[in-house]
Amino acid sequence: MLLSKKQPSASATKWIEKVKYQKHKESYSYFTFFLNNPKFRYAAFLFVFLSLWFLLQVRWFPSTRTSQLVTQTTSKSSPGKCNGDVSVYVYVLPAEFNLGLLHDCNQLNVYTNMCPHVANNGLGQPLDNMDVGLGESNPWFATHQFIAEMIFHARVENHPCRTCDPERANLFYVPFYGGLHVSSKFREQNHTIRDALAVGLVDYLQVQPAWRKNNGKDHFIALGRTSWDFMRTDSGPDFGANCLLNLPCVKNMSVLTVERNPWKGSNQHGIPYPSYFHPSTSEQMLTWQRMVQGSNRPYLFSFIGAPRKGVGKAAIRDEMIKQCMESTQCRLLKCDHGNPKCYNPSEILKVMRESQFCLQAPGDSFTRRSTFDAILSGCIPVFFSRHTAYTQYAWFLPEEASEYSVYMDEQGDESKRIQEVLMKIPKEDVERMRATVIDMIPRLTYAHPNASNTDLGFEDAVDVALQALARHVGNIIL
């Protein structure tokens, strides 16, 4: 049931998109034609009846659905098959824009030494304290939250939809490690120096023949940090951002980022933060999904996070910590004073696997990696801002937020009595939501970049992003 749900849902999305685009053109007249013709009316009735019957089957007999879908998955993985009209060309950039930056990995972030984190194509160090045996290759890594750009790069390089012929490509990937670079320059006072590499990238791109063909509209970058780090404003406070996403050339491109600017980011598309699980096979994925499905969850809810200094964002965090401490049904993992448990992935996932709901307070920005750790653990996320997920990851999340999450506005009354609100949700609803959350795991996971195309057998975050991007670019270029 778990994995393969992506098949129907991927095509369903495509279908919905298609319908949306055609709606105004043709469907209205077809529809009236059908209604006015008795023969067709009967056929339509029969069709609707059968569809409903089928839906009921799927709903009411989930176990049948399980076994069915697992078989589908196994048969589906044909060797190196590229799905979804994607043909992606990967620029071979001068090393200064990506791999060359890694030589100074201890200088890449003003707060941390990134050397352990950039290892293994950005997966980081293997984790051997995960108490789950998942076959021969270990899929667990202590992955850094801001490293998606490296994993994305490694995965696309090895992707069945990659083409080496720019003439045949419908997508052009510019593998710039912009997040790693910007965090190495946070303390650079001179803006010219801070922006230099971004400006250099744009100079490089604009003279490329492939750029000129569509003014870069079919080009994209993927960034492991939030868009705020690349959108310095003259009026706002200077927290170290550069100007990358404000450059006219980059505005013509699509920008994949772990957090988009909901107001000025029309060319920005949210991609998941990487969590710790990077499976190479659908077997590993299914084993994990079954494990979180069967997990015992004694806690109603949990919160993992640090109190924040300052007023605005701190308010909701402090409120949560207070409510969690007061509740016997809440598990709190408080991350102040460098609590080592907060840096231990197995500890974090354990807390989440034992909880039914995981509170997602906005952090330094709207989004949190923790949202993806929670989903990976089968823990239903509770959001307090629409910008923590709903306005961010449209390509990856079900359209209907209540299918997989709970929303309590941070200004509203519900967020003042979290336990009470969560306790009122009927058990069946909780189970349905959790099933949806567990079904979402594959699409939000970054598969191991070296996974063979034959074995992977499920669509991961990179597959979903490339397919959605190809549709999007197809629509803006035509």
Ligand X SMILES: *[C@@H]1O[C@H](CO)[C@@H](O)[C@H](O)[C@H]1NC(C)=O
Which residues of the chain form contacts with ligand X (CB under 6 A)? 120-121, 123, 190, 192-193, 215-216, 248-249, 252, 449-450
Closest separation in Å from C-beta 6 to ligand X: 24
Closest separation in Å from C-beta 198 to ligand X: 13
Residue 35 or 193 with smaller CB distance to ligand X: 193
Closest separation in Å from C-beta 130 to ligand X: 17
Three-state DSSP state, 476:
helix
Neighbours of 287 (CB within 10 A): 16
Q: Which amino acid is at 28?
A: Y
- State the Rg of the chain over Cα: 23
Residue 107 or 450 with smaller CB distance to ligand X: 450
Residue 265 or 449 with smaller CB distance to ligand X: 449
Residue 404 or 446 with smaller CB distance to ligand X: 446
Residue 203 or 409 with smaller CB distance to ligand X: 203
Closest separation in Å from C-beta 112 to ligand X: 20
Closest separation in Å from C-beta 155 to ligand X: 10
Edge-to-edge strand list for the sheet holding 380-383: 330-334, 299-305, 355-360, 380-383, 406-407
Q: What CA–CA distance (Å, rounded) separates 250 from 248?
A: 6
Nearest-CA neighbor of 418 among 295, 278, 321?
321
CB 243 within 8 A of CB 88: no
CB 57 within 8 A of CB 64: yes
Residue 249 or 435 with smaller CB distance to ligand X: 249
DSSP 277: B
Residue 215 φ/ψ region, left for φ over 0, alpha for ψ in the -120 to 50 degree band, beta for the rest: left
Neighbours of 41 (CB within 10 A): 12
Closest separation in Å from C-beta 449 to ligand X: 6
Closest separation in Å from C-beta 248 to ligand X: 4
CB 333 within 8 A of CB 342: yes
Residue 105 or 342 with smaller CB distance to ligand X: 105
Three-state DSSP state, 129:
coil
* Exposure of 137 in the CB half-sphere (CA atoms within 13 A): 18
